[in-house]
Chain A
Amino acid sequence: MELKPAAAHEPAHDADEAGNFTLRTYLIGFLAAAALTAIPFWIVMSGAIASAAIAGTVIVALAIAQILVHTAAFLHVNSRVQGGWTLVAYVFTAVLVLITIAGSLWIMFHLNSNMMPGMEGTPNGVP
């Protein structure tokens, strides 16, 4: 991936700035997204996978796949648009989002399990 400042682009190079949309990309993206939405709803609503742990893992994996489909097909993020800067910002944000969510859950889980026995359940699920 080659990084270039956005200002270096000529105004005529629309494709480098906004991406080049084709009907085909949108339709393929839409069909993939529809399938990746329908499958997790079906899994949960039909109870097709008996183990909640396995079902949960599968629907999270499908959600990540669908986010990537939307990013590529609808948001047109790739290494060429804006000289790659949208992709850099996207990856950086993904890292921050992961740290925020996983870090919060990790810390708060340990806070809860380190509470004194008498305070069990106080922060989570007061009767």
Chain B
Amino acid sequence: MTAPADDLPAAPAFYEVEAHGTTHSGGGTLLGFWIYLMSDALIFAALFATFGVLSSSFAGGPTPGELFDLRVVAANTAVLLVSALTCGLAMIALQAGKLAAVRWWLIITALLGAAFVGIELVEFRELVAEGATPQRSGYLSAFFTLVGTHGLHVTFGVVWIVVMLVQLGQRGLHAENRRRLLCLAMFWHFLDVIWIGVFTFVYLMGVLRWS
């Protein structure tokens, strides 16, 4: 610090030309992330519409009643629903400023998410082993696209949680990490909402109509 003090600006006021507060409080980011989730919902709407149109295009191939074991789907649904609760408990811990509790609930959420993806991959492998591949019929193409896209979202959610755990380990619960955690929770709960549509329209309605 050899420069004379009067050469320095009196106060770093020029750093605050950008919107006051919003970058740190996360208000704009949270709304922006919400808009992203809504656009993601439109992707799923297109996939659900495609699935609905092709829902009886079996091409002589297997029908939902022959393909699905609802006990497995029920177990998978339960895993995802419990992960929604643990994600919520992480948010409660975040509000209370308890870093250790936030990390533990996030770890449990990530494990449940990984279990969900694992069960889904086992189900997919069994379908493919039975010859029910995406190439078999229009119905199966739409099924694998819709359910696979949801599974891919959950996979990236698990990756995000792992990244978040590293960031929490390095920096703790500062304002940016709080904002990121709120976005992560929104993402996770959004995926659970999409799954309600999947288990209702793909699995339950499928078995109800074609068994």
Contact = CB atoms under 8 A, between A and B. Distances in A.
Please say whether chains A and B are actual partners in one complex: yes
Interface of A: 6-7, 9-12, 14, 17-18, 21-23, 26-27, 29-30, 33-34, 37, 40-41, 44-45, 52, 55-56, 59-60, 62-63, 66-67, 70-71, 74-75, 82, 85-86, 89-90, 92-93, 96-97, 100-101, 103-105, 108, 123-127
Interface string B16-52: 0001111011111011001100100110011011101
Given A59-B200, A70-B189, A97 B27 contact: no
Contact of A37 (B25, B81, B186): B81
Interface of B: 19-22, 24-28, 30-31, 34-35, 38, 41-42, 45-46, 48-50, 52-54, 56-60, 70-71, 73-74, 77-78, 81, 84-85, 88-89, 91-92, 95, 138, 182, 186, 189-190, 192-193, 196-197, 199-201, 204-205, 207-209
Contacts of A22: 92
A127 B59 CA distance: 6
Given A7-B28, A52-B209, A100 B46 contact: yes
Dominant secondary structure at the A interface: helix
